[in-house]
Amino acid sequence: MIAATIGRAFLKAYNEKTGQQLSAREFFEKDYFELFFNHPKYMQWVTNSPFVQMKAGQKPHLLKPQDRIEKLKNLHSKITDGEKDASIAIGFPASETKEFATTSGLVTDMELALDKEDVYYSWIGGGLGIGVAGGYSIFFDQPDILLKLYEGWKVYRNYLNDKTLVRLRGNQINTWNGQWLSFSYNKYYRESFDFAQLHSTGVFSVDEKVIEVNTIKWSELFFNISNRYPHQTFTGYVYSLGQTNKTLGFYPFHFNKARSLIKYYKLLFGEQAALHDASHYEALFGIHIKRACELGSIGLQALEPNALRKYFGKDSNLKLAKPKLGQKKGESDEAYALRKEKIEAKDYENIITYRTYKTWLLAMITKNKEESLEYTAEVAKALHEYKGADKKGSTKRSNLIGSELLIAKTKKSFLDALTTIIKEVDEKELETFKNLRDRVHMMSSEDFGYFVVLLKFDYAYAERTILN
């Protein structure tokens, strides 16, 4: 039923834009069938539908034009006869009479009012799902988004028909929709793009056997949609249609939160870095779409960077020390240049990870964000000065910081370690650590959890700066 609702929303917007009054069936015949199925390569594979049910010896890519028209007529006939199972109406339950019900979920025994137009709407809507990594798709009912996806249908069809791209897979319309929407809403989008540009930006993967559309991460799509809708919140329906249909439900997508993260990245590291690093840090944000939906909304918390959780507590810490780049004895200039390039690339990756984590953690601390932009960095520097004043050969202060203070999971354990530090610091550092004590004492438990990890990262970065 949701696919039919999306199809209806699209056709209303399409008719208004073009000044036409097409019915769902008319649009299906005129546009949808012509784009999706009236070619050797399909754009969509609907299991058990007339378009994929082949007679003996038939193959989709070998069908003659009259064969494809026959399959269209077969679909019309089934719809006219009132068939509305999953092979005829997109997103509907499988047929009870054909004993396919094990593939269906949330099936109702209520008689739902549904006419033939709704079935055609469901096909149109089915082609507007936005595929994201994790095996799920998203429906948005905003007219502009739906019309933008329609533009992308034509681009995908042109590539499928391109004789220089014979290895390009068909039947990836939902995956393509995700990449197309993200690409066309990217701030660097230009109408004069070509396949080479799409390949270079990761839309397509190419090897000697196949060319296919890569599945986009939901957070990358989220950031690019936010370029077009920086202040809006849209409701998205998250689902999966396959051997077993899955529904996660309706969730608000708060696109302003993406802009909030970019704002803090700019404040922390400069506008130029925010632009230069964008493709790198945007790829790090975002937990799995299913976990994101479990939060109840798609916003700042759902954008938690990948693998951040392993740094809470004592399990791990970021390695931010500057790499040693000296040329080894007997190493050729060419080998040294190659090794240096790899090391510098890895170091850049580590710095981007640090910046990404710091940005998100700072954004999650609910109070005094502007005041706190450099606060943890200042505390980290004071901790290094405290450690550096330790007696020669002693690791007491280093152990106190690394093994107690920065791995604390509760405010009490953090404050206990901090009390020891306060007893030992010089007068000039005393005010810094007293202020830290007071701040931590006033924090909520949730904010403290984020704060101590942020301090851990800034301490590691301060070590990088001090030791080099």
pLDDT tens for residues 245-270? 889 999 999 999 999 999 999 999 99
Q: What is the mean pLDDT of residues 300-307?
A: 93
Residues 43 and 85 in one domain: yes
What is the spatial distance between Cα 435 and Cα 430, in angstroms, rounded to a whole number? 9
What is the spatial distance between Cα 454 and Cα 265, in angstroms, rounded to a whole number? 14
Residues 237 and 363 in one domain: no
Residues 132 and 122 in one domain: no
Residues 204 and 133 in one domain: yes
- pLDDT for position 37: 97
Residues 184 and 311 in one domain: no
- pLDDT for position 6: 97
- Is position 277 within any domain? no
Percent of the chain with pLDDT strictly greater than 90: 72
Answer with the one of 127, 161, 190 that is the final residue of a domain: 127
410, containing H or E segment: none
pLDDT tens for residues 50-75? 999 998 888 988 999 999 999 999 99
- pLDDT for position 322: 84
Residues 229 and 347 in one domain: no
- Is position 287 within any domain? no
Please say whether the beta carbons of 2 and 91 come within 8 A: yes
Q: Is the pLDDT of residue 462 over 50?
A: yes
Residues 402 and 457 in one domain: yes
Q: How confident is the model at residue 102 (pLDDT cuts 50, 70, 90)?
A: very low
Residues 350 and 235 in one domain: no
Q: Which residue has the higher pLDDT, 84 or 257?
A: 257
Residues 137 and 206 in one domain: yes
Q: Taking the CB of residue 184, how many other CB atoms lie within 10 A of it?
A: 17
Q: Is the pLDDT of residue 216 over 80?
A: yes
Q: Which residue has the higher pLDDT, 328 or 367?
A: 328
Average pLDDT, the chain: 90
With b meaning 16 or more CB within 10 Å and e meaning fewer, what string describes 101-130?
eeebeeeeeeeeebebbbbbbbbbbbbbbb
Query: Residue 441's domain spans which residues?
Result: 307-466
Q: Is the pLDDT of residue 38 over 90?
A: yes
pLDDT tens for residues 113-149? 568 999 999 999 999 999 999 999 999 999 999 999 9
Query: CA quadruple 155, 161, 164, 170: dihedral positive or negative?
Result: positive
Q: Is the pLDDT of residue 191 over 80?
A: yes
Q: How many domains does the chain have?
A: 3
What is the three-class DSSP state of 66? helix
- pLDDT for position 106: 46
